[in-house]
Amino acid sequence: MALYTAPIWLTLFLIPLLLVLKKMKNQNKQLLPPSPPKLPIIGNLHQLGALPHQSFWKLSKKYGPVMLLKIGRIPLVVISSAEAARDVLKVHDLDCCSRPPLTGAGKLSYNYLDISFAPYGDYWRHMRKLCVIELFSVKRVQSFRSIREEEVALLMNSISQASSSALPVDLSEKIFALNGSMVLRMAFGKRFQGSHFDNHRFEELIDESEAVAGCFTAEECFPYVGWIIDRFTGYHAKLDRVFYELDSFFQQEIDDHLKFGRTKREDEDIIDVMLKIEREQTKSCFGAHLTNDHIKAVLMDVFLAGVDTSAITVIWAMAELARNPRVMNKVQDEVREYIGKTGSVTENDADQLQYLKMVIKETLRLHPPAPLLLPRETISHFKVNGHDIYPKTLIQVNAWAIGRDPKYWKKPEEFFPERFIDNTVDFKGQHFEFLSFGAGRRSCPGSHMGLTTVEITLANLLYRFNWKLSGIKQADLNMEEATGQSLTISKKTPLILVPVNYLQ
Ligand code: HEM
């Protein structure tokens, strides 16, 4: 009996042991992406630099297009080629279409009730669908047309005054203010000039919100000790202040819209639309009722995603044109020939200007406002280029580096809009060498609104004025990127140009 039981016990012991050993062997076979050397505790944090997309680009030349970094305890995979971007944003889109739970984003989005920062799931799907249909559709964008045309006309008048005295204008300031006004009017249906909450404070608030929303706290990167750094930098106090200011502002606007006797407007603003949905909704929409917090979270998205991105694009475009007179003359000829002497460019006109569209494309290739898109978080395990990527990994796609890669672009550093003649490559999410609006499930739903704003602004600036540099040569125009921003990157120094009236 003992003779036979011994092998049975042995087998019962051996099988689990073999299984454990096999699992360990498989685990050893896992192929993580190459990594630059790390330091204890901080990992690769010291290699991020002031402009992470540029640092990642340099590192990727040595460590490849799929590269693993550690930011404290957080694993981060940086994607730097069109092929790997296709794998991540198309083939494995579903495996990595969530967003990391960032403290700042969580607070400013009323615990992820928005679209941009909400984790992937039913709620995000419903909310995104609702906003795509109700807020970002071609019809809705069209309904805001008069706002854009009026605001652009006001800007042209103010530049015209400066031009009559041959004064230089700070175009960066003016373009940010223009976009701020447009978004405020689209969201709240009124202008804020001269009030306590004027454009200047609004712009500051957007910058401050982006700075606290788009980054990890030290506590998230370094558990146990990070909170000391956060206390030292005043992160939470800053976040609370920004949240309080925006929240009271949004609440007041919602209350004003709910006031009895408010005159009904023909063109609904974003609060009108959201309040209508709140009134008419069926409970099944989100499994819960749409509340004021949902509305405020969407407003937050519209402000954070909608103001900076379009303004940054217009400013880079004007900077590139100012140092490329050949392109400047060609695009101005196109606009002026098409418009004649009518005095201004309408949105219908702007839509017909093919070379202008190429100028915008070329600007977005070289200067994508969100150079690393928005961070994604993986939901499940998958492989890219044979490398294992595990759940809860942060993914950043370096759209900026891919847009400058000589593998896909001839003379990539040159501002040459003609590269898009007879070229089907576009930024609509199907060509992974050109990712200014992202791709896949989390791609930008506001691209039509953004592009319409950029086109009408640029077309009028180019039609109404000739532009001269203020006391510097073209080659000396500062084209550096600003540091200290988190989600979007703008031009470092203000763009100062001298306007000369074309229509005397
Ligand atoms: C030139 C203008 C714009 C550019 C270049 C731009 C670019 C982007 C990029 C790169 C992303 C991230 C995509 C990804 O993670 O794959 C994004 C997301 C987003 N954008 Fe835009 N954007 C622009 C204008 C706008 C406007 C005007 C709005 C709305 C008013 C908007 C709303 C959003 C929202 C809500 C998301 C988050 C989508 C999600 O997570 O599901 N964007 N945008």
pLDDT in tens, the chain (504 residues): 344 444 554 455 555 555 555 555 555 567 999 999 999 999 999 999 999 999 999 999 999 999 999 999 999 999 999 999 999 999 999 999 999 999 999 999 999 999 999 999 999 999 999 999 999 999 999 999 999 999 999 999 999 998 888 889 999 999 999 999 999 999 988 877 655 566 677 878 888 998 898 888 999 999 888 999 999 999 999 999 999 999 999 999 999 998 876 766 667 899 999 998 888 876 445 666 889 999 999 999 999 998 899 999 999 999 999 999 999 999 999 999 999 988 899 999 999 999 999 999 999 999 999 999 999 999 999 999 999 999 999 999 999 999 999 999 999 999 999 999 999 999 999 999 999 999 999 999 999 999 999 999 999 999 999 999 988 999 999 999 998 777 899 999 999 999 999 977
**Substitution candidate for ligand 1 out of 308, 444, 451, 489 with most atoms within 8 A of CB:** 444
Measured from the CB, is residue 300 less than 6 Å from ligand 1? no
Q: Extract the tokens encoding 315.
A: 């400013």
- Residue 471's pLDDT is 87
DSSP states along 294-324: HHHHHHHHHHHHHHHHHHHHHHHHHHHHHT-
Measured from the CB, is residue 393 less than 6 Å from ligand 1? no
Helix segments in 135-234, DSSP class H: 138-143, 145-164, 171-188, 199-213, 218-221, 226-233
User: CA quadruple 356, 357, 363, 369: dihedral positive or negative?
Assistant: positive
Q: Extract the tokens encoding 280.
A: 């008419």
Q: Closest residue (by CA) to atom 6 of ligand 1?
A: 437
Amino acid, single-letter form, for residue 272: D
Q: How many angstroms separate the alpha carbon of residue 445 from the centre of ligand 1? A: 6
**Substitution candidate for ligand 1 out of 437, 448, 449, 486 with most atoms within 8 A of CB:** 437
Measured from the CB, is residue 72 less than 6 Å from ligand 1? no
Residues 6+ apart with CB under 8 A from 203: 176, 177, 180, 307
Measured from the CB, is residue 109 less than 6 Å from ligand 1? no
- CA-only gyration radius of the chain, Å: 26
Q: How many angstroms separate the alpha carbon of residue 326 from the centre of ligand 1? A: 31
User: CA quadruple 398, 403, 404, 407: dihedral positive or negative?
Assistant: positive
Q: Closest residue (by CA) to atom 42 of ligand 1?
A: 446
The Cα angle at residue 55 between residues 103 and 382, in degrees rounded to 5: 65
Measured from the CB, is residue 437 less than 6 Å from ligand 1? yes
Measured from the CB, is residue 370 less than 6 Å from ligand 1? yes
Measured from the CB, is residue 137 less than 6 Å from ligand 1? no
Contact 426, 364 (CB under 8 A): no
Q: How many angstroms separate the alpha carbon of residue 504 from the centre of ligand 1? A: 39
Q: Closest residue (by CA) to atom 21 of ligand 1?
A: 444
The total number of residues written for the chain in this structure: 504
Q: How many angstroms separate the alpha carbon of residue 437 from the centre of ligand 1? A: 6
Measured from the CB, is residue 491 less than 6 Å from ligand 1? no
User: CA quadruple 37, 39, 45, 50: dihedral positive or negative?
Assistant: negative
Q: How many angstroms separate the alpha carbon of residue 116 from the centre of ligand 1? A: 8
Q: How many angstroms separate the alpha carbon of residue 270 from the centre of ligand 1? A: 17
The DSSP bridge pattern shows strands 394-397 and 74-79 to be parallel
Amino acid, single-letter form, for residue 2: A
CA of 368, closest atom in ligand 1: 5
Measured from the CB, is residue 269 less than 6 Å from ligand 1? no
Beta bridge partners of 39: 43
Measured from the CB, is residue 97 less than 6 Å from ligand 1? no
Q: Closest residue (by CA) to atom 35 of ligand 1?
A: 116
- Residue 6's pLDDT is 46
CA of 449, closest atom in ligand 1: 27
Q: Closest residue (by CA) to atom 31 of ligand 1?
A: 446
Give CA–CA dist 303/18, Å, rounded: 57
Residues 6+ apart with CB under 8 A from 363: 313, 316, 317, 320
Measured from the CB, is residue 100 less than 6 Å from ligand 1? no
Looking up tokens 């690393």, which residue turns up? 372
Q: How many angstroms separate the alpha carbon of residue 305 from the centre of ligand 1? A: 6
Contact 257, 264 (CB under 8 A): no
501 — phi, psi (to 5°)?
Answer: -55, 130
Measured from the CB, is residue 270 less than 6 Å from ligand 1? no
Q: Extract the tokens encoding 360.
A: 């915008």
Q: Extract the tokens encoding 359.
A: 């100028």
Measured from the CB, is residue 452 less than 6 Å from ligand 1? no
Q: How many angstroms separate the alpha carbon of residue 132 from the centre of ligand 1? A: 12
Question: Is the reported ipTM for this assembly greater than 0.95?
Answer: yes
- Residue 342's pLDDT is 87
CA–centroid distance for 277 within its chain: 26
CA of 454, closest atom in ligand 1: 1
CB burial class (10 A; 0-12, 13-18, 19+) of residue 461?
A: buried
